[in-house]
Amino acid sequence: MKRILAIVFILIIGFWMAKALDQVPFGEDRMLVGKYYLEHVKEETGAVNAVTAVVVNYRGFDTLGEVTVLFIASTGVAALLWRKKRERTAKTEGSVVLTTGARLLLPFIMLFGAYIFIHGHLTPGGGFPGGATIATAFLFLYLAFTVYEIDHKIFEPLEGLAGVGYVTVGLIGLAIGGYFLFDWIWQTWGIGRENIGRLFSAGFIPIIYTLIGIKVGTELTGIVDNMVKEPEEGGQ
């Protein structure tokens, strides 16, 4: 009874959504601001990847908010799962193939993650996919080994420092250019103006994406670390 009612209710909602979306034609050029971004992205930011330029440069506040959301989520997970004595839940060691494979694949995954966030202004990707790839490498370690644990003395300060670095880059822009997240490397210094499309271009986008990549990688690893532990029996 409940299911039938839910299905009817959902079909009514779906009908109205479909009716509204029929007014939006598919595959037609409706760009207004997007056209401006595509035409001016090269001389205004130096980035080849227009999505990266929009995310970091034109609408940098969105990314700052996004990083804040992720930071609050990782802090929240740590606060919700906080206990005095916590241990890994894994009891059985993985097979030899798994542990050896993890050990061999780890540097390749890390290298590829670093490649993704360093080349954010040239290729698809950027700080968030790169950071998630690096977190995958640590997740792999957590799954393959029963005793593995990240070094909390390095990870949490690194996470905070990367966030502080992002805000510092924005504040330097405020001091030089007059507004927060002003691209001072590109607009004022003009570094890399002659090699657009190469690695050393695009102003502060590679710097910010490296910081975001480190931050996202450490944050997602911290979330994984909190979730694979459980409180010891009897001790709360």
Residues of this chain that interact with other proteins (CB under 8 A) are 2-3, 6-7, 9-11, 13-14, 17-18, 21-22, 24, 26-31, 33-35, 37-39, 41-42, 48-51, 53-55, 59, 62-63, 65-66, 69-70, 72-74, 76-77, 80-81, 122-124, 126, 128, 197, 216, 220, 223, 226-227, 231
Cα separation, 138 vs 41, in Å, equals 35
Angle at 65 between CA 60 and CA 70, to 5 degrees: 125
Complex with other proteins: residue 37 or 182, whichever CB lies closer:
37
Question: What sign for the dihedral angle of Cα 225, 230, 232, 235?
Answer: positive
Q: How far is the CB of 13 from other proteins (least distance, A)?
A: 7
- CB of residue 97 to other proteins, shortest distance in Å: 29
Q: Which residues contact 190 (CB under 8 A, 6 or more apart)?
A: none
- Cβ contacts of 56 within 8 Å, gap of 6 or more: 63, 120, 126, 204, 205, 208, 209
Please say which residue, 170 or 221, places its beta carbon nearer to other proteins.
Answer: 221
Give least dist CB 9 to other proteins, A: 8
Amino acid (1-letter code) at residue 19: K
Closer to other proteins by Cβ: residue 121 or 182: 121
